[in-house]
Amino acid sequence: MDYDPTDHARGRMPPCPQGDMRLTHFNYLTPCFDSGPACGLDWAGIAAVGSFAAAVVTFAAVLVALRAARGQETAAETAVAAERAKAEHIQEREWEAANEAHRKVAKQLAHAIGRELAYARRQLVPILCYWTPFGRGRISDALIESYGNDKPLNDLVLLRSCTGKLQGFKDEDALELLTLLATWQFFNGHPGIRADQVRVKAEKDWKAFARPRVEFGLELLDMLESAIERMERFQEGKGPGARVELESLPDRVEARLKVLRTRMAEK
């Protein structure tokens, strides 16, 4: 049989005479992963499978790393929380210790300040009774001098020096002490006019002239007595205790004070 070249293009192969070795059959190999007579290795597929396996391994490694990082982060957060709690506990103990120290100092100051205020009351009451607007007769020179004095009373030296040491007192106690100090300093000052002017006003109408200052003095006295009671309660946690003799006033002075309060309350 004659060979037609087109037969090869059409996929038809002419029979090969036995023993004719000029033409051989084509060997078709099936891609596979096991090498054999009829199987050729598919290197692209093998590479793809290897890449996939590598990706799986990488993904697993990332998950492990993330889990380890999350565990480390949790451990770090736990450690930070523990350190913060420890620091807060230490700080609270330091605050408690400081507050306890302030309370001890406040008790000591309350005792001393209470005594100073009691002595101040012993000064203030006689002055108010002496300046009474309801006096009769001629106003004496001694009264004019006392009323026009630059400082008719002593300063509250101890209380003034302790204004920066009131941390152990309650806010209302500290506020009352500071208000009392400011009021005392204002009252215990010069009336603002000369002695001769005091004389003129006193002779003209002593009652109208002296009454406003005495009213203010009685208000100061109320503040003073309230602060004394606060200091006594603070240092012992009890009510007012017995006062020493030097803190008390004679009965006749207390009686005059009572009369003065009654008459000042009248219209």
Q: What is the pLDDT along the chain (267 residues), one digit of tens a residue?
A: 454 555 544 555 555 454 444 444 445 445 555 555 556 556 666 666 667 777 777 877 777 777 777 777 787 778 777 777 777 777 777 767 777 887 888 888 999 999 999 999 999 999 999 999 998 888 888 999 899 888 999 999 999 999 999 988 989 999 999 999 999 999 998 888 887 888 888 888 999 999 999 999 999 999 999 999 999 887 665 544 445 555 788 999 999 999 999 999 986
What is the C-alpha to C-alpha distance for residues 232 and 243, in angstroms, rounded to an integer?
A: 10
Cβ(1)–Cβ(14) below 8 Å: yes
What is the C-alpha to C-alpha distance for residues 241 and 238, in angstroms, rounded to an integer?
A: 8
Which residues touch 210 (CB under 8 Å, ≥6 apart)?
131, 132, 133, 147, 202
Cβ(266)–Cβ(134) below 8 Å: no
Half-sphere exposure in the Cβ direction for 87 (13 Å, CA): 6
Alpha helices in 131-170 (DSSP H): 141-147, 157-161
Full-model pTM: 0.64
- Cβ neighbour number for residue 243 with a 10 Å cutoff: 14
Cβ(180)–Cβ(225) below 8 Å: no
Sole residue written with tokens 């203010």: 216
